[in-house]
Amino acid sequence: MSFPFDRIVLALLLAACILLAGRGWLREHPGYDPWTPLTLEERPGWATPRKLAAVRGDRDLCRSFLERSGISRIALPPLGKGECRRDDRKALAAPLAAGVTLSPARAEATCAVDAGMAWWLRHGVQPQAEAIFSSKVVRIEQLGTYNCRRIGSGDKGSWSEHATGNAIDVSAFVLANGRRITLRKGWRGDTEEAAFLHAVRDSACESFSTVLSPDYNAAHADHLHLDQARRMAGWKACR
């Protein structure tokens, strides 16, 4: 028995309606659409981590993300040589675009670090500051981005991501109300400061490839180490 023609047409129309509805829903929820370019306004969904990983691993995608986000994408000339050559180098512009100053102010890192800072500030740092302190972060104190050295500063072993400026160490946050929260003093205990610092550490794990906190070892007792190391299958370290 042949299938009635009108039922075939009805099934095709139904499928088309479902497809159009799905496409409309994805337009309104880009965090679930892997084909929509990442923007800072995107509400995180299952596709967002893949987009962040793509931005981390592709300089052109990274620069496009910064441009869409109203953040300077302008690169600086390469510097250095060997394991410490910085061929991906720019002034960090994401903090200032988010109304946050860095101290020291002049910091250079990779495009991926700038993109990570942009996403972290928008979706991690500021929401947590407002939720816990009812105040925004206006300044981030940092210990540096570039340092031509190996991990642990020894003569052997793997090179640090700082060697190519692909990392930043964050030591403190200053709020609009003047409150200053440091990793060294605020990390431990059942306090608002500790809750905030742990929350921003956890949110940084979405934006960066590596996040090392005071929970990792004594060398990180006073800062969060954030870097954008490239690893197989998007594997990340969050400690």
Q: What is the DSSP string of 83-136?
A: GG-BSS-EE--HHHHTT-EEESS--EE-HHHHHHHHHHIIIIIHHHHHHHHSS-
**Higher-confidence residue: 166 or 23?**
166
Instruction: Tell me the pLDDT tens digit for each residue of 125-176.
Output: 999 999 999 999 999 999 999 999 999 888 899 999 999 999 999 999 999 9
- What are the backbone angles phi and psi of residue 227, rounded to the nearest 5°? -140, 170
pLDDT at residue number 235 = 83
Q: What crossing angle do the helices spanning 48-57 and 59-68 adopt, rounded to 10°? A: 120
Q: Tell me phi and psi for residue 75, to 5 degrees.
A: -90, 155
Q: Are 228 and 113 in contact (CB under 8 A)?
A: yes
pLDDT at 11 over 70: no
Is pLDDT above 70 for 9? no
The whole-angstrom separation of Cα 186 and Cα 190 is 10
pLDDT band at 13 (very low <50, low <70, confident <90, very high): low
Are 138 and 122 in contact, with CB atoms under 8 Å apart? no
Compute the CA torsion angle 30, 31, 33, 39 (nearest 10 deg): 60
pTM of the model as a whole: 0.90
Instruction: Decide if pLDDT at 42 tops 70.
Output: yes
